[in-house]
Structure 1
Amino acid sequence: MRWGVIIVLGLGLIAYGVYKLNYPTYSWRQKLTLVVETPEGVRTGSAVGQVTHWFHPAIPVDAGSRNSSLRGEAVVVDLGDGRYLFALLDESPKKLKAAFADRLPEFTYGLNDLKRFFRAVERLRGAAAPVPFAALPRLVTFGDISDPTSVRLVDPDDLAAVFGEGYALREVTLEITDAPVTSGVVEGVLGWLGEYPEPGLCPPTGQTTDIPFCRRVHHGDFSRRPR
């Protein structure tokens, strides 16, 4: 009886190992840091998020064979006088590809190429590199921090157009890290923020054109927590 149990357990472990070999999970934490020049000096903000990708059988056959999740919150830079700059959450690998172009394989959507890319990212733990502004997630601010409908898009190359003379984004870096996922910073600034997922920052207008920007930004762009 005991040997039967051992054999069953052994076969189960082998089956699980074969499954994980074919359908692995990849996960890493990445820290995005923004350095902003202001008339009162340099202000910085950073946030650590956790990215997870896992592969699974395509059941039904027309279903995808990969899922991904992002946990964390937007980068917040306190510019003083009640004004803030936010770098929104973004699941795209665009930042990774741009920052670590010389250390990562080509990114394609073939399953084997994706696994190779994700393995390479995991091996970058402890590495940091500058991020070109063109690869950044959306930057936003609020005309009134208490009013979500006052959200505005910010051009990373022209912060002065929104904040005034003397404001400029000087540097952005991305680091693959073991640091804990950032928590509570965004919620401390945006008291109205709801739980992910949430709709846009303003009600639907019923329009199919001229959709306001506040409909294109969601609560989940600022914070995502385990559900």
Structure 2
Amino acid sequence: MRVDGILFDKDGTLFDFNATWVAWVEALIARWSAGEAGLADRLAGAVGFDRTARAFRRGSVVIAGTPEDVAGALAPVLGRPAASLVERLNAEAAQAPMAEAVPLTPLLEGLRARGLRLGVATNDAEAPARAHLGAAGVTGLFDFIAGFDSGHGGKPAPGMCLAFAAATGLDPARVVMVGDSTHDLLAGRAAGMQTVAVLTGLASAEVLAPLADTVLPDIGALPGWL
């Protein structure tokens, strides 16, 4: 089917998930626990992170959740309202050292040269998402950037996907949603889009394949698939 636009998830899709977020969550736990081992273990448990294995557990709220979801998981451990933690989490996330899944500039420039409209739909907040894309030098290559707090809702609901189609004037059926989680693929399907799964997140091909038109190793394989 003809493709006129591509909507990307951010974490685990544009950026390799483990290479970015393992070091980030370890640093966050160290800062927020102030060196108290018991508290560090409880914080790690709340967000589904195995400190010994240095890996996120399947189902971790960090993988596909919003900052509000992560704050909600941490709030009982810290004894603070979740709402009071969201801004702090967003500030922490904006400083995360992002690792590009593939060199982004040549890939995105090549897709734009084909006449494709490009967007980002992430369950991260919009401000840190823009900070990450800016640090990679690719913000200007996107026609649309939305986070869970941009007014369209979060995934797996289709709001961000439909907002991208509306902003670019594209038929959703001629847009591909590219992501590394079932949240991404469910959102794309609910919006009537084509869906492509990539394996630079934590979900396996077996988990993603039933919801995807194809499963690729990473977004570098998109031009060949197109």
Normalising by structure 1, we get a TM-score of 0.28
> Between Structure 1 and Structure 2, which shows a larger proportion of helix residues?
2
Say which one has the larger Rg. Answer: 1
TM-score (ref. length: structure 2): 0.28
